[in-house]
């Protein structure tokens, strides 16, 4: 299948009007929809934005390749947009994008479709080809230039394959590439590495982990004879096969942008030896670097959230029967409400810190870290060390298991099986348990008591300042590290019995989507029709405390929108604290407002004030749509 079987003149825009990333995406989605290639344009656009949230598909050199594979696509297709002036696509090199290819792959796209789509992405690495596309006068001329270039590329690939067959010793260097969607970046990184190796006179074989499966799989003999392996991937890769070989682990973008540097590092002996016995998820070093603390913490938080949300909302529902309806000694006792409260508080909430610790430890040390992490987290819960104790237990368990793996690495091979089922769990649980019991839990429990007393004794001015900080943090990155830091602090305070901080946090998190929704309604000339339509859904997203619903608006105009979000969220947090509101449920938005401690109407007022601040600032700061 040829590229021109998927790209047609009716899916081209040679003069894009939009000057922003969101605008370009809207134009190209509309073009695909008008040409009859989409089943559900809104769902397809959402899939495109989801991919953009993982990393920008503006790869630099004036190119952007937004792409998605979803059942919202009726017929696999490519849309092409060209901007002579360039558009701000948040590209990796910070430069405007001039050539934008939007790839629409259907959920059932066959291998031919996917290989054709990936071939387009590799053609764009050629500067001369990009110049040809920029200078083409008509859609038909664009089609011809793509067709000619593709024929040239396919001929070159046949020559390369023939050369590889003649090479008896096998490739000197191996590589594996992969990106989250496996459509574009996977193959662009592969081509960049192959082109660079060819230029340097080095033989290379690249395995691609694409959406159509593993292509050009590395063999055991090739791995054994290779000088080293480059792993340029943002997805998990089979790693055990590389045991004892030099492996340079990087992100897929490094493979695209810095192929020479990666090849040089392997050839110069700078790639570290990979040890499968120590475990690895096979993720890129970029992810590991971001990793450290943050990646492990987020692994714990994301797995804990279902317990927090499910248990918290069930607790909130129980309050509808009366604030004391779960107390058997109170006149308002209700057996169903008591059951809900027990499920939420006694079980879900009782497990949440253990789950947090277990998955933090598992992120650090793989499966052997899970048991000591869970037990350490449960000890933190029962010993009064709470959320903070669970965090410490998770990291403690993970790194203790790593140390145990290193300490036991010299044991005879015959004991490998028994290490996992006996040595690791017994020794790690013993060490973590002893440290938690005697060293960690007592001082952390005491610290929690001091912190709770300090928060309870704060004066009005200090409480308002805390509300400003916590509320504002929720809008800084809307679901990112700063937002999650505030959210996890709020959960810790609920666990400690202080409900005021989380009231400010939820109010601050509801404001960005609510504020932008109101702004799209009032200041209609500041937004495109698509943005106004998206604004309607933001009312619901905000009402249910889904701060991420405001991200597309912030991404389109961050310099103006994000400050407006922060100002509104900080205001809502300040008023929530000023009004003395406490929130016992960690999630739920408008659904749990009736359960707040204090006056629910005042809490609603705090959120509305913050929403108004954001909406007015957006209206004042944002420029009208041209």
Domain residue extents for the chain: 3-156, 172-274, 292-448, 460-621
Give strand pairing partners of 102: 79
**CA–CA dist 25, 91 (Å, integer):** 14
**CA–CA dist 238, 283 (Å, integer):** 10
Task: Give how far Cα 106 sits from Cα of 4, 183, 357, Å.
Answer: 17, 12, 39
Q: Is the pLDDT of residue 469 over 80?
A: yes
Tokens of 311: 């248990």
Closest CA to 574 of 620, 607, 599: 607
Q: At what angle do helices 386-407 and 349-365 cross, to 10 degrees?
A: 30
**CA–CA dist 213, 30 (Å, integer):** 30
According to DSSP, residue 387 is labeled H
- Residue 67 falls in the annotated catalytic set: yes
| Lowest-confidence segment of 80-94, 112-126, 167-181 by average pLDDT | 112-126
Q: By percentage, how much of the chain surpasses pLDDT 70?
A: 85
**On the CB side of 416, how many CA atoms lie within 13 Å of its CA?**
5
List CB contacts of 193: < 8 A, sequence separation 6 or more: 175, 177, 204, 206, 230, 232, 255, 259, 262, 263
N- to C-terminal Cα distance for the chain?
Answer: 40
**CA–CA dist 472, 467 (Å, integer):** 8
273: phi then psi, degrees, rounded to nearest 5:
-70, 135
pLDDT of amino acid 290: 40
Question: Of 179, 185, 502, 587, which is the active-site residue?
Answer: 179
Q: How confident is the model at residue 292 (pLDDT cuts 50, 70, 90)?
A: low
- CA 420, distance to chain mean position in Å, is 31
3-class SS at 283? Answer: coil
pLDDT of amino acid 480: 60
3-class SS at 83? Answer: strand
pLDDT of amino acid 451: 65
**CA–CA dist 417, 401 (Å, integer):** 16
pLDDT of amino acid 69: 82
Token pair 């702004």 is found at 519
- CA 203, distance to chain mean position in Å, is 35
Q: How confident is the model at residue 293 (pLDDT cuts 50, 70, 90)?
A: confident
Question: Of 49, 67, 296, 587, which is the active-site residue?
Answer: 67
According to DSSP, residue 348 is labeled I
**CA–CA dist 463, 474 (Å, integer):** 17
Q: At what angle do helices 349-365 and 370-382 cross, to 10 degrees?
A: 150
Give strand pairing partners of 275: none
Number of H helices, E strands in the chain: 24, 11
**On the CB side of 249, how many CA atoms lie within 13 Å of its CA?**
22
Contact by Cβ (8 Å): 344, 311: yes
3-class SS at 308? Answer: helix
**CA–CA dist 381, 375 (Å, integer):** 10
Q: What is the mean pLDDT of residues 70-99?
A: 87
pLDDT of amino acid 463: 85
Q: Which overall architecture, per CATH, does domain 172-274 show?
A: 3-Layer(aba) Sandwich (3.40)
**CA–CA dist 626, 609 (Å, integer):** 30
3-class SS at 258? Answer: coil
Q: How confident is the model at residue 282 (pLDDT cuts 50, 70, 90)?
A: very low
Contact by Cβ (8 Å): 337, 318: yes
Each residue of 249-267: pLDDT tens digit?
988 778 888 899 999 999 8
570: phi then psi, degrees, rounded to nearest 5:
-65, -40
Classify domain 3-156 by CATH number: 3.40.930.10
Label residue 308 exposed, middle or buried (CB < 10 Å: 0-12, 13-18, 19+): buried
Contact by Cβ (8 Å): 614, 519: yes
The structure's pTM equals 0.48
- Residue 179 falls in the annotated catalytic set: yes
**CA–CA dist 359, 355 (Å, integer):** 6
What secondary structure, in 3-state letters, does 452-502 show?
Answer: HHHHHCCCHHHHHHHHHHHHHHHHHCCCCHHHHHHHHHHHHHHHCCCCHHH
**b/e code 526-558 from CB counts within 10 Å (16+ = b):** bbbebbbebbeebbebbbbbbbbbbbbbbbbbe
Q: What is the mean pLDDT of residues 207-220?
A: 78
pLDDT of amino acid 91: 80
Q: By percentage, how much of the chain surpasses pLDDT 90?
A: 32
Q: Which residue has the higher pLDDT, 197 or 118?
A: 197
Q: Is the pLDDT of residue 169 over 60?
A: no
Closest CA to 87 of 29, 137, 17, 27: 17
**CA–CA dist 426, 454 (Å, integer):** 40
Rounded mean pLDDT of the chain? 83
Q: What is the mean pLDDT of residues 446-475?
A: 79
Contact by Cβ (8 Å): 410, 396: no
**CA–CA dist 24, 556 (Å, integer):** 10
**CA angle, corner 107, sides to 284 and 238, nearest 5?**
30
């Amino acid at each position: 299948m040829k590229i021109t079987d998927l790209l047609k003149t009716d899916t081209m825009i040679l003069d894009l009007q939009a000057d922003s990333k969101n605008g370009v995406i809207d134009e190209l989605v509309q073009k695909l929809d008008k040409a009859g290639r989409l089943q559900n344009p809104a769902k397809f656009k959402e899939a495109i934005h989801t991919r953009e949230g993982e990393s920008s598909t503006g790869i630099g050199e004036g190119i952007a390749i937004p792409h998605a594979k979803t059942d919202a696509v009726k017929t696999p297709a490519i849309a092409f947009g060209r901007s002579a002036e360039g558009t701000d696509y948040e590209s990796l090199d910070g430069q405007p994008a001039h050539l934008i290819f939007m790839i629409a792959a259907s959920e059932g796209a066959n291998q031919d479709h996917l290989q054709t789509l990936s071939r387009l992405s590799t053609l764009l690495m050629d500067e001369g080809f990009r110049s040809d596309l920029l200078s083409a006068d008509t859609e038909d001329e664009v089609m011809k230039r793509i067709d000619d270039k593709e024929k040239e590329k396919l001929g070159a690939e046949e020559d390369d394959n023939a050369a590889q067959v003649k090479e008896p010793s096998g490739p000197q260097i191996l590589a594996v590439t992969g990106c989250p969607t496996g459509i574009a970046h996977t193959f662009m990184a592969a081509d960049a590495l192959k082109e660079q190796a060819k230029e340097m006179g080095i033989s290379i074989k690249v395995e691609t982990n694409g959406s159509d499966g593993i292509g050009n799989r590395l063999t055991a003999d090739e791995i054994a004879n290779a000088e080293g392996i480059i792993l340029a991937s943002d997805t998990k890769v089979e790693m055990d096969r590389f045991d004892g070989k030099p492996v340079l682990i990087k992100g897929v973008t490094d493979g695209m942008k810095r192929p020479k540097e990666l090849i040089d590092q392997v050839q110069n002996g700078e790639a570290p030896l990979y040890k499968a016995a120590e475990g690895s998820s096979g993720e890129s070093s970029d992810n590991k670097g971001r990793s450290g603390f943050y990646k492990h913490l987020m692994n714990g938080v994301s797995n804990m959230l279902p317990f927090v949300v499910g248990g918290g909302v069930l607790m909130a529902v129980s309050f509808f029967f009366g604030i004391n309806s779960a107390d058997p000694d109170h006149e308002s006792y209700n057996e169903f409400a008591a059951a809900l409260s027990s499920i939420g508080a006694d079980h879900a909430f009782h497990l949440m810190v253990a789950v947090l610790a277990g998955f933090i430890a598992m992120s650090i040390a793989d499966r052997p870290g899970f048991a000591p992490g869970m037990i350490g987290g449960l000890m933190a819960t029962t010993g009064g060390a709470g959320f903070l104790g669970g965090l410490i237990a998770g990291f403690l368990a993970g790194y203790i298991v790593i140390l145990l793996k290193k300490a036991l690495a010299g044991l005879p091979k015959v004991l490998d099986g028994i290490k996992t089922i006996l040595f690791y769990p017994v020794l790690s649980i013993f060490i973590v348990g002893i440290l938690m019991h005697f060293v960690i839990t007592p001082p952390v429990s005491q610290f929690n008591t001091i912190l709770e007393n300090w928060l309870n004794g704060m004066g009005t001015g200090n409480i308002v300042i805390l509300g400003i900080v916590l509320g504002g943090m929720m809008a800084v990155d809307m679901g990112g590290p700063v937002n999650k830091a505030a959210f996890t602090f709020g959960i810790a305070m609920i666990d400690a019995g202080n409900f005021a901080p989380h009231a400010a946090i939820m109010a601050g998190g509801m404001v960005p989507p609510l504020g932008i929704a109101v702004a799209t309604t009032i200041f209609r000339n500041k937004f495109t029709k698509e943005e106004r339509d998206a604004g309607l859904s933001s009312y619901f997203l905000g009402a249910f405390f889904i701060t991420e619903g405001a991200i597309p608006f912030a991404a389109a105009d961050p310099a103006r929108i994000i400050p407006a979000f922060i100002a509104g969220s900080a205001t809502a947090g300040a008023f929530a604290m000023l009004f003395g509101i406490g929130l016992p449920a960690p999630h739920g938005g408008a659904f749990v407002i009736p359960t707040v401690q204090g006056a629910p109407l005042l809490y609603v007022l705090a959120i509305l004030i913050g929403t108004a601040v954001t909406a007015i600032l957006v209206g004042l700061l944002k420029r009208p749509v041209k």
